[in-house]
Amino acid sequence: MTLFWIGAFALSLIAAIAIFWPWIFKTQRTEHDRERLNVMLVKERVTELQRDLEEGILTAEQKAQAEEELKLSLLNEVEQNSTPPSQGLLKSKGSKMLSVGALCCVLLSGWAYWKSNELADLQDWQRAKGRLGELGERVVMKNDESLTSKDLQDFLLALRTRLAEKPDDAVGWLLMGRIFASLQSVDYAIEAFEKSLAIEPERVGTLVSFGQTLLLTDQENNIKRAKQLLLKAVSINPKETDALGLLAIAATQLGEKDLAKTAWTELGKVLEEDDPLQQVVKNKIAELDAVETELKVAISIEPALTSALPEQGYLIVFARQANSDMKMPVAVVKQPLTQLPLVITLSDKNAMIPALNLSSLELADVVVRISKDDKVEAQTGDLEGEVTVPITRSQLNEITIEINKELP
């Protein structure tokens, strides 16, 4: 920055000299040349008068009078060429105006350069770069909770500069991913974790942080990838508590109860007995051990109705509260029609509203319907069967339904 200002000053000085030089010296040079010419003419005339005297053309008195007239003429010429006070004042004002204009041009040019080159941003970058060591210690070593969003942005800017100079720094990319994740920039975080893993595929910290970020997306493909990353982390370090906890969460979201229970169990073994997380682990295992309320429905069709089956239809199975004016299903399964008979299982996972599920029912109307489309509402020509059964919570309930009527 110092070199920039020195260069800018030097260029401005050169420009000012180039502008003012002709204006300053033009008048003095012109007046000086005129005086020299007048003197030369007078000397030539005096020489001619001396020659005329010698040749007898002029008398000594006439020569003296002619020389006196030449001196008076030269004096008048000098007085006429000298600048009157009013003209000097005008020139002084013109000089000031020119100086002010030149100064304005320099200031305007400097301001335009400042804005066009974003020197303020450059200064921010230099300041952030100078804070890399301080912020790195607060982020990595001290886990300082007082860090502001501006601090994180400064650390990120300095870190990106460092990685531009040293792109094979796996720890640097890991830190960048964590900062992006904390700033909710998930896509950038994933990209940074990818680069870190490409350099050091076995780094457990990267595997765990990457898996955690993927879980935040709540997308099935990302959750599956997170599971694989966390499994790898656990295989490298079986006592990595963060990896075990995140693996249990990923497995639960994917419906893999056995893996989730194994992960929670292993986490409980690693934690100290008095660790507050022990109770969380026990609760999670208890939830996984609990048997869901399920309804296993064996479906068949009356032989007389087989000819009425659509070539391409849908099988819709649902349960609703029996003996109630509310006819909204609490659990629904819809799938393309296949060969009958078959078995369909309804559970709390098939609830349309989490708070209103199969476990909330004591007596249920269970309906099996074959339709030309996937709409739950009954339509003319649909084939249907229905039974009313009691529901036992936290157990597997088994029933059989025969499709025995065609709706008018």
The pLDDT, as a whole number, for residue 31 is 55
Q: Any idea which of 112-126, 349-363, 376-390, 391-405 has the lowest mean pLDDT?
A: 112-126
CATH code for the domain in which residue 338 is found: 2.60.40
Cα–Cα distance between 129 and 370 in angstroms, integer?
68
The gap between the terminal CA atoms of the chain, to the nearest Å, is 87
List the alpha helices (DSSP H) in 200-323: 204-216, 220-236, 241-253, 257-270, 277-289
The pLDDT, as a whole number, for residue 147 is 65
The sign of the torsion formed by the CA atoms of 229, 233, 239, 242 equals negative
Single residue among 242, 261, 289 that ends a domain in this structure: 289
pLDDT at 121 over 50: no
User: Is there a single domain that holds both residue 67 and residue 156?
Assistant: no
Single residue among 289, 311, 343 that ends a domain in this structure: 289
Cα–Cα distance between 334 and 369 in angstroms, integer?
10
The pLDDT, as a whole number, for residue 90 is 44
The pLDDT, as a whole number, for residue 29 is 52
The pLDDT, as a whole number, for residue 297 is 94
251, 264 in Cβ contact below 8 A? Answer: no
Q: Please name the amino acid found at residue 118.
A: E
Q: pLDDT band for position 205 (50/70/90)?
A: very high
* Tokens found for residue 352: 């349309």
Cα–Cα distance between 257 and 232 in angstroms, integer?
19
CATH code for the domain in which residue 205 is found: 1.25.40.10
3-state SS class at 24: helix
Domain count within the chain: 3
**Best CA proximity match to 174, nearest among 158, 161, 185, 159:** 159
Domain residue limits at 396:
294-406
Mean pLDDT throughout 41-64?
71
User: Is there a single domain that holds both residue 259 and residue 398?
Assistant: no
Highest mean pLDDT among 34-48, 56-70, 330-344, 348-362: 330-344
Cα–Cα distance between 275 and 263 in angstroms, integer?
17
Mean pLDDT throughout 199-223?
93
User: Is there a single domain that holds both residue 207 and residue 172?
Assistant: yes
pLDDT at 290 over 50: yes
From residue 321, how far is each of 73, 195, 293 by CA, in Å? 131, 54, 15
- Tell me the pLDDT tens digit for each residue of 353-376: 877 888 888 899 999 999 988 887
177, 193 in Cβ contact below 8 A? Answer: yes
Secondary structure (DSSP) of 252-279:
HHTT-HHHHHHHHHHHHHHS-TT-THHH
User: Is there a single domain that holds both residue 131 and residue 273?
Assistant: yes
Q: How far is CA 331 from the centre of its chain?
A: 42
The pLDDT, as a whole number, for residue 42 is 65
Mean pLDDT throughout 119-137?
49
Cα–Cα distance between 353 and 344 in angstroms, integer?
20
User: Is there a single domain that holds both residue 193 and residue 273?
Assistant: yes
User: Is there a single domain that holds both residue 38 and residue 153?
Assistant: no
User: Is there a single domain that holds both residue 275 and residue 162?
Assistant: yes
pLDDT at 170 over 70: yes
Q: Any idea which of 59-73, 200-214, 253-267, 293-307 has the lowest mean pLDDT?
A: 59-73
**37-76 in b/e burial notation, b at 16+ Cβ within 10 A?**
eeeeebeebeeebeeebeeeebeeeebeebeeeeeeebee
User: Is there a single domain that holds both residue 151 and residue 257?
Assistant: yes
pLDDT at 91 over 90: no
38, 77 in Cβ contact below 8 A? Answer: yes
**Best CA proximity match to 81, nearest among 32, 25, 26:** 32
User: Is there a single domain that holds both residue 192 and residue 155?
Assistant: yes
User: Is there a single domain that holds both residue 155 and residue 284?
Assistant: yes
Single residue among 71, 100, 117 that ends a domain in this structure: 117
Q: pLDDT band for position 302 (50/70/90)?
A: very high
Mean pLDDT throughout 150-175?
80
User: Is there a single domain that holds both residue 75 and residue 141?
Assistant: no
User: Is there a single domain that holds both residue 197 and residue 236?
Assistant: yes
